[in-house]
A = this chain, B = another copy of it.
Amino acid sequence: MAGWQGVTFLKPSYVELMIEGDCAEVGGILSRVGDKWSVLVVVALADRPLHFNELKRLIDAVSAKVLTSTLKALVRDGFIIRHEISAMPTRVSYELTPLGRDLLTVVRDLALWSVRNRFAIREARKTYDASTPPARRLIKAV
């Protein structure tokens, strides 16, 4: 989630990208976008608010613990809002903020780009794997 603290490197020609914002901050946001669960949660909330367990059921590969921390991180960053109804049993719902909707469009563009280029990537991987003996590969096959 963090981990960008020590990174001071920045291409001179790309410094403009980070005007006034340091690499760590932008990096932190980028890794949020690259985070599997965050992306899925944001997409899941695309057209209506959901309760905790509704989210849990939709994204059933996630554990409650991880879903909880993912939601907290998204709330903290201002991408979603937590609504709590103090009753018994408690009901909590999560909803995208305007900022969260903006994030959604970014994620969608990214996904569309992935879809457009997936054949090229798949082909590149096939070629690479064919020319490289499995034993010499460090990375796991996808």
**Size band of the interface chain A makes with B:** 35 or more
- Residues of B near A6 (CB, < 8 A) are 61
B34–A118 touching, CB < 8 Å: no
Q: In the bound complex, do residue A44 and residue B4 qualify as a contact, i.e. CB atoms below 8 Å apart?
A: no
Asked if B142 contacts A124 (CB within 8 A), the reply is: no
**Per-residue 0/1 for A101-142: is the Cβ within 8 Å of any B Cβ (1 yes, 0 no)?**
010001111111111011011111101110000000111101
Q: Give the residue among A18, A76, A138 with the most B Cβ atoms within 10 A.
A: A76
Q: State A75–B136 Cα separation when bound (angstroms).
A: 14
Decide if A35 is an interface residue (CB 8 Å cutoff): yes
- Indicate whether A25 reaches chain B with its CB closer than 8 angstroms: yes
For A18, give its contact among B110, B115, B127 (CB under 8 Å).
B115
A107 / chain B contacts, CB cutoff of 8 Å: 30
- A residues neighboring B (CB under 8 Å): 1-4, 6-11, 13-14, 17-21, 24-36, 39-40, 43-44, 46-47, 58-61, 68-69, 72-73, 75-78, 99, 102, 106-115, 117-118, 120-125, 127-129, 137-140, 142
